[in-house]
Structure 1
């Protein structure tokens, strides 16, 4: 994985839809003041809550914020994704895919909305097995060669497909995917239970094995389980209802008390202790302030061992 210390990534999925632009600006300002660097968005965010029925709202808000904050582009790094934006409003079956044409058109639209000449990391948001993997690999590698993106990565891809893609990139002499993004948190669903959230892929042992062997960066999403660690009105999904979850949450309360931290902060510290960059969505300034403070929470080996034993 990368040699840089793990960092909190600001997830901006709801900016411009559930989070109004003025509130998003306040969150972005607070994130930067608090030392945050990475912003995570996607060209499809968030077509499912946008009356227009297509994505782009999040990128437009970030672009407006960058224009309103001279010098901000030198402070933040921007990661966006292509694959899921709709070509026909309200029609998920029209998602753009990962053909060479779709990848290039997708990132071109992202750059326009963001108002930048390049992004720092471009993700393939999910697989597209209707397109030869080599075509996608060459398209992404070509964007690095042109300076359109500095790095590339795969979100919601199985480890074997990532390694196959990296092998194809080496054969074709183009930049390979060097980052993984998958869903991961302290609590885990029952083994082999299906993930009800469409398109989500859970981080597995083989993903971490690949990342550590090949020095790939790992980002996690849904790290705080939509607020379920701290909000009684946001219960964990039914697939997490098993004895291991109860044991882990008991340890979580104990460790949070010992370290004078919140549950959320301990979860984020646990992820960063493993070298994972957690993505944190925020709808209020105090939420991102709480998340950034997790960088000061230090988990010892004994804490980590207690969590492992609880599972």
Structure 2
């Protein structure tokens, strides 16, 4: 079975979702051909009572129960875990020093119950630490077999290229993935998002990735936490502009013509475009997962894609 071009977001696992529901979602995802599990060493630290251990621990319990480590690609991150207990901001984030990274990967491996991470990400930028230190430490982890590949999350295009050039110059493993906030709708230019740590895909990043086919875009917040379809989840204020109104109208037209949901059209648009993208889909129920899985075989022909692209 071909691997699904989707990654499963795991933020609610171990907190708002109990093990029974978490395991059911993971089982169904893998049974459908899914392999990519995306987590972090701080999910979901911003929730009252959470420490950031919860998502990795839940995945670790599932892996131990199922004995299927070789069937999944584990993706986790370091750099944004608070160092002050109870801090719900990024003000005390661990950062990307050599000491912080080594400590972080040991913690993730322990919680996940594995001896290696398949994709290890720098979760946020840390410009207080030289890139040489961060990338050199990642290279050590790859050399030791603790990490297979590395990626950068929430990074600008110029910083991504600087990091990749530095890795090439030193003979180190380079970033092969970038993880950014991306969906069909676009916010107003220059808008400041409520989520301060989020970095949006910008035109310069799209241009860069089209020139660097060995770098894959993983997109998060793809369905805007349900805002495309749920009345109780309004579109964020930063997206309040005429383009959003027109875009939503076209999405609904296309969904109606295809007999699909708006969410499925958004995911199909991301998957099948000229910039190959792995959407990260966070779900809290089997029904939501089934909807996302239904997007994989949804094909947008040239005419439909042109209509969707024309209003972005």
What TM-score do you get using the length of structure 1 for normalisation? 0.95
**Is the 2:219–2:279 Cα contact (8 Å) retained in structure 1?**
yes
Residue 36 of structure 1, aligned match among 26, 34, 37: 34
Q: Which runs of 5+ in 2 are unaligned?
A: none
Aligned pairs for 1:190-269 (under 5 A) are 190-215=188-213, 216-269=215-268
Distance 1:65 1:50 in 2: 24
Q: Which residue of 1 aligns with 2:162?
A: 164
Distance 1:102 1:131 in 2: 11
Q: Which residue of 1 aligns with 2:56?
A: 59
Q: Which residue of 2 aligns with 1:307?
A: 308
Distance 2:123 2:300 in 1: 31
Q: Which residue of 2 aligns with 1:103?
A: 101
Q: Which residue of 2 aligns with 1:296?
A: 297
Q: Which runs of 5+ in 1 are unaligned?
A: none
**Is the 2:3–2:34 Cα contact (8 Å) retained in structure 1?**
no
**Is the 2:4–2:33 Cα contact (8 Å) retained in structure 1?**
no
**Is the 1:183–1:223 Cα contact (8 Å) retained in structure 2?**
yes
Distance 2:5 2:191 in 1: 30
Distance 1:140 1:100 in 2: 9
RMSD: 1.3
Q: Secondary structure at the match of 2:300?
A: coil
Distance 2:144 2:164 in 1: 19
Q: Secondary structure at the match of 1:153?
A: strand
Distance 1:194 1:179 in 2: 25
Could you report, residue by residue, the CA deviation over 1:230-249 in whole angstroms, capped at 9, with x for unpaired residues? Answer: 10110101111111111111
Mean CA deviation greater in 208-217 or 160-169: 208-217
* Count of residue pairs the alignment pairs up: 306
Distance 2:14 2:111 in 1: 12
Indicate whether 1:282 and 2:283 are aligned. Answer: yes
**Is the 1:43–1:55 Cα contact (8 Å) retained in structure 2?**
yes
Residue 212 of structure 1, CA deviation: 2.2
Could you report, residue by residue, the CA deviation over 1:165-224 in whole angstroms, capped at 9, with x for unpaired residues? Answer: 111111221101110100000111111211221100000122122222122010000000
Flag the 1:251–1:270 CA change in 2: closer, same or farther, 3 A. Answer: same
**Is the 1:18–1:49 Cα contact (8 Å) retained in structure 2?**
no
Aligned pairs for 1:177-196 (under 5 A) are 177-196=175-194
Residue 5 of structure 1, CA deviation: 7.9
Distance 1:243 1:50 in 2: 36
Residue 308 of structure 1, CA deviation: 1.8
What TM-score do you get using the length of structure 2 for normalisation? 0.95
Distance 1:173 1:50 in 2: 43
Distance 1:149 1:270 in 2: 31
Residue 94 of structure 1, CA deviation: 2.5
Distance 1:31 1:160 in 2: 35
Residue 50 of structure 1, CA deviation: 4.9
Distance 2:82 2:195 in 1: 18
Aligned pairs for 1:123-138 (under 5 A) are 123-138=121-136
Higher relative contact order, chain-length normalized (CA < 8 Å, sep 6+): 1
Could you report, residue by residue, the CA deviation over 1:103-145 in whole angstroms, capped at 9, with x for unpaired residues? Answer: 1110110000000010110010010011111111111122112
Q: Secondary structure at the match of 1:254?
A: helix
Could you report, residue by residue, the CA deviation over 1:245-278 in whole angstroms, capped at 9, with x for unpaired residues? Answer: 1111111011111111111100000000121100
**Is the 2:3–2:33 Cα contact (8 Å) retained in structure 1?**
no
